[in-house]
């Protein structure tokens, strides 16, 4: 494996700070991440942010096929060259923004749900996570490297300072777990903070017990409103965020045993589900 800094220089490229590009430098680390994804020989893997192919090659040695998505037009031909040199014939590189992928259609064409892996830049980690949350039928597991603070939010429990909107929504629809931590010295250029690999698996039944898209949208709206003004009480944040009279919000909260003075970070996903149903009756 050629060191990323050397490879970029050979092609007249630089890592983009704006895009949050940090490339893995150690094949052993890439292999550890790939192993944590529990890839089976019959799996098709969808990789988000293939970069210079370190994780791509590790995954390709385990999977039937890898669809490697990269958005950078300068990096993409370098990735193609690396894959060709390594004889990675089971990898299909795609030049595209991951946020524009039709995941459900891709899974349909593939004939099965994807195993997802990726190294997500901080700037797009939230939009990509929410995109996968909206397309649960397209994938059966996701093993993603994100900044440690994002990982902490994904796995955080109620009452923790890291617990927020993302925690509630992801945990409502997915089982979450921490796989491993990757230090800054494993990347080029070195990021300022550590990264963590998290593992997500869609739940067979979501914790909110919502079935229709309308119910799901209302639940998500309630959670967003609750955390929209984090320092305020639920009474104030929900009233402002949902445009409901305070008397109705207070009644809804008290009807399910939640004090109007409580704050969003103290509620479990199940409590948010009860709250969403109570508020729906008042909307």
> Does residue 22 have a known ligand-binding role?
yes
Distance of CA 162 to the CA centre of its chain: 16
> Does residue 111 have a known ligand-binding role?
no
> Does residue 81 have a known ligand-binding role?
no
> Does residue 24 have a known ligand-binding role?
yes
Q: Which of 25, 31, 82 is nearest to 53 (CA)?
A: 82
Are the CB atoms for 78 and 13 separated by under 8 Å? yes
10-13: long-range contacts at Cβ-Cβ below 8 A with a sequence spacing of 24 or more? 11/74, 11/78, 13/74, 13/75, 13/78
* Cβ neighbours, 10 Å, residue 53: 31
Report residue 69 as tokens.
């998505």
Report residue 2 as tokens.
């050629």
How far, in Å, CA of 205 to CA of 172, rounded? 9
Report residue 178 as tokens.
């921490």
* Residue 86 to residues 37, 66, 102, 181, 198, Cα–Cα distance (Å): 22, 14, 29, 28, 28
> Does residue 135 have a known ligand-binding role?
no
Helix intervals (H) in 86-212: 103-110, 122-133, 148-155, 165-173
> Does residue 185 have a known ligand-binding role?
no
How far, in Å, CA of 64 to CA of 129, rounded? 25
Q: Which residues are annotated as a binding site?
A: 22, 24, 49, 70, 97, 119
Q: Which residues are annotated as a binding site for S-adenosyl-L-methionine?
A: 22, 24, 49, 70, 97, 119
């Amino acid at each position: 494996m050629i060191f990323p800094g050397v490879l970029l220089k050979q092609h007249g490229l630089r890592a983009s700070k704006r895009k949050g590009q940090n490339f893995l430098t150690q094949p052993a680390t890439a292999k550890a991440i790939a192993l944590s994804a529990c890839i089976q020989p019959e799996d098709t893997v969808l990789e988000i942010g293939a970069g210079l192919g370190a994780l791509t090659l590790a995954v390709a040695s385990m999977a039937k096929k890898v669809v490697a998505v990269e958005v950078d037009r300068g990096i993409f031909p370098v990735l193609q060259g690396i894959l060709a040199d390594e004889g990675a014939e089971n990898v299909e590189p795609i030049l595209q923004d991951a946020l524009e992928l039709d995941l459900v259609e891709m899974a349909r064409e593939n004939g099965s749900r994807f195993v997802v892996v990726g190294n997500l830049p901080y700037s797009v980690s939230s939009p990509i996570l929410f995109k996968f949350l909206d397309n649960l039928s397209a994938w059966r597991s996701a093993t993603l490297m994100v900044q440690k603070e994002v990982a902490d939010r994904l796995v955080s429990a109620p009452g923790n300072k890291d617990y927020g909107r993302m925690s509630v929504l992801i945990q409502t629809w997915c089982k979450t777990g921490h796989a491993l931590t990757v230090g800054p010295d494993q990347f080029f250029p070195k990021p300022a903070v550590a990264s963590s690999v998290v593992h997500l698996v869609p739940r067979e039944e979501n914790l909110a017990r919502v079935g229709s898209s309308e119910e799901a949208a209302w639940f998500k709206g309630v959670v967003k409103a609750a955390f929209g003004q984090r320092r305020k009480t639920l009474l104030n944040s929900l009233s402002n965020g949902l445009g409901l009279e305070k008397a109705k919000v207070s009644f809804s909260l008290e009807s399910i045993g939640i004090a109007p003075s409580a704050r969003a970070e103290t509620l479990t996903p199940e409590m948010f589900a009860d709250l969403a149903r109570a508020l729906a009756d008042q909307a």
